[in-house]
Structure 1
Amino acid sequence: MEAQLVVQRIAALQSEHRDLDAAIDRLAADPAVDELMLRRLKKRKLQIKDQVVALQMRLVPDIPA
């Protein structure tokens, strides 16, 4: 994947991560919170974070030991 495409994908994932964070905060503040939905959103948020880290690692050149 071209570096520019990787950077764009990272930005999109980071935006989705922020949106999920806000949605989780709103849901958690609701006294009648749907715990299953909250767990799913948190799991998705972690998956996105892992994807961002993996993509960022692709941008870093290998450094010989």
Structure 2
Amino acid sequence: MTEEEMRKRLAMLKVEHRDLDIAIAALVETGGPDQLQVARLKKRKLSLRDQMAIIEDYLTPDIIA
């Protein structure tokens, strides 16, 4: 995967992460009984965050001070 592809993937992950945040907030606001769905969305959101961290670590050069 090239650096440009990684940057595009990172941008897509950030959008999906933001969308999940909005979806979770909407479910919580409605007070629906579907806590299982909220838990699944939160788990997916954490997975996205982990993937973003891996890509960001790869894209950020190590600087020795």
Give the TM-score, by structure 1 length: 0.90
Moved over 4 A (4+): none
**What's the counterpart of residue 35 of structure 2?**
35
Give, in angstroms, the shift of residue 24 of structure 1. 0.1
Identity of aligned residues (%): 45
Which blocks of at least 5 consecutive residues in structure 1 are unaligned? none
- String of CA shifts for 1:8-59, please: whole Å, max 9, x gaps: 0000000000000000000001122300000000000010001001001111
Give, in angstroms, the shift of residue 64 of structure 1. 5.1
- Matches of 1:63 and 1:32 in 2, distance apart? 48
Which blocks of at least 5 consecutive residues in structure 2 are unaligned? none
RMSD of aligned residue pairs (Cα, Å): 1.3
Give the TM-score, by structure 2 length: 0.90
